[in-house]
Amino acid sequence: MKARFLTAAAAAAAVAALAIAAGAAPAQEAPRPAQRDWTANVVATPEGGIRIGNPEARVKVIEYLSFVCPHCAHFAEEGTPALLRDHVRTGRVSLEVRNYILNGTDVAATMLARCATPANYLRFGDRLLSTQSQWVGRVQAIPPAQRQEMMAMSVPDRLTRIAETGGLIETAARFGLPAAQARRCLADTAAFNRLGEIRQAAAALGVQGTPTFLINGAVQEVNDWPSIQQRIRQAGG
């Protein structure tokens, strides 16, 4: 029996030696599952915003913005890409965008953007902010006589004239809103009233201008990206 054991042991040793001589690869760990990209999770919220990211994120950021606000356009260029890439994508942070209308031009742009799907709202909004000076400039260039004429129009007709002048009807078509649908959106009384409700709710939270950020429900007194990022990190995001 002992001889057989030694023979078996020798055979095993020989097999091991052959494997080493042949350069057998060591056992490898199973590949880890790919981390979920939470920026693909985009939904409308009951509060009237559009949320990007993990609904159970530890840090919840809310941004109140206006499409005619230059500071909002600057943050969209400087801060939003990094916020989504470095914080929202991981699931540690969620970002909810809420509109805070400032004037009639803002109302026209916002109503069109909100008429799109949540994902297209974000893309449409990015386009509005990145080209803000162009379309806002066209509206601001309306001659005084035409402005006076517009004041006598109904609200839907006035918003439509603003959208036409700013080229927003054509822009909306790029984000899933054909011209006929865009015009119907601008005439939606319920959607118009909803913007007023969102602004009133924002004022109740302490929002007084744009952009304004809330982190886990607390209004922040800063609105530049380095400061907001520091607050997010301090909150655990």
Do the Cβ atoms of 99 and 65 come closer than 8 Å?
yes
Summarize pLDDT for 63-79 with one digit per residue, the tens: 999 999 999 999 999 99
Q: Which CATH architecture has domain 38-234?
A: 3-Layer(aba) Sandwich (3.40)
Output the pTM of the full model: 0.84
Residue 30: which pLDDT band, with cuts at 50, 70 and 90?
low
Cis peptide before 211 (omega within 30 of 0): yes
Residue 19: Cβ within 10 Å count: 11
Average pLDDT over residues 134-147: 97
Statement: residue 20 has pLDDT above 80 = no
Does residue 130 carry a pLDDT above 80? Answer: yes
Q: Distance between CA atoms of 57 and 178, rounded to whole angstroms?
A: 36
Burial 139-164 (b: 16+ CB within 10 A, else e): beebeeeeeeebeeeeebebbbbbbb
Alpha-carbon span 81 to 87, nearest angstrom: 10
* Percentage of residues of the chain with pLDDT beyond 90: 85
Quick one: pLDDT band at residue 109, thresholds 50, 70, 90? very high
Closest by Cα among 233, 226, 215, 218 to 96: 215
CA angle 194/60/42 to nearest 5° reads 60
pLDDT at 232: 98
